[in-house]
Amino acid sequence: MPQLSSTVRLVVNGTAYDLEVDNRTTLLDALRERLNLTGAKKGCDHGQCGACTVLLDGRRVDSCLLFAVAVDGRSVTTVEGLAPGDELHPMQAAFLAHDAFQCGYCTPGQICSAIGVLDEAAAGWPSAVSDGTAVLDEDEIRERMSGNLCRCGAYPQIVAAVAEVWRG
């Protein structure tokens, strides 16, 4: 009989957790249902909207597409773990300052993705519209954030928030 569950170790927001999970459990479901970290949202459950974006070993991923067993031993950062204590991460503060949200459902994924975008750009990673040497202008930010959808249409404010943090 095949093994139906496994024990996985996830380091989430700096804390290690050993979880017994069904082998079909997604990272998103492990975060939300087992660890009660509800920042990452289940939007489409198909990797198309970006509401579930978290940082895996510092790189942005759609957590609805990854099985928890596939990320055993790796480090996950959710929106809840971006800033210490009561301080906001600079990207969270910029989203507030620019009203870069309306209903807020996509906001945690947008913020995690935006942090990933800045790290990728700083590392010189190319996008579909640049060779990696381009300055992160509004068009480049839009391209790099294109995997995160906002049903409310707060895109101009999101771009402004990302640009502000990029400029420092």
Global pTM value: 0.95
Q: Cβ neighbours of residue 40 under 8 Å, at least 6 residues apart?
A: 28, 31, 32, 51, 52, 53, 54, 63, 78, 79, 108, 109, 112
Residues 155, 99 within the same domain: yes
Listed range (10-24, 37-51, 131-145) with the worst mean pLDDT: 131-145
Total tally of structural domains belonging to the chain: 2
66-83: b (≥16 Cβ within 10 Å) or e = bbbbebeeebbbbbbbbe
- Shared domain for 44 and 99, answered yes or no, is no
Average pLDDT, the chain: 95
- 């942090």: which residue's tokens? 115
CATH code, 100: 1.10.150.120
Q: How far is CA 12 from the centre of its chain?
A: 13
**Which pLDDT does position 1 carry in this prediction?**
72
44 & 110 share domain: no
137 and 159 both lie in a single domain: yes
Domain with 20, as residue range(s), is 5-81
Instruction: Tell me the per-residue pLDDT of 91-143, one tens digit each, with 9 for 90 and over.
Output: 999 999 999 999 999 999 999 999 999 999 999 898 888 876 667 899 999 99
Torsion sign (Cα): 57, 60, 63, 65: negative
Is 111 in the same domain as 138?
yes
- pLDDT confidence bin for 84, thresholds 50/70/90: confident
Residues 9, 76, single domain; the answer is: yes
Domain identity same for 56 and 14: yes
Among 33, 57, 81, give the residue marking a domain's end: 81
Mean pLDDT of 75-82: 98
Do 94 and 163 have their domain in common? yes
Looking at the structure, tell me whether residues 15 and 56 fall in a common domain. yes
Q: Does pLDDT of 2 surpass 80?
A: no
**Are 15 and 58 in a shared domain?**
yes
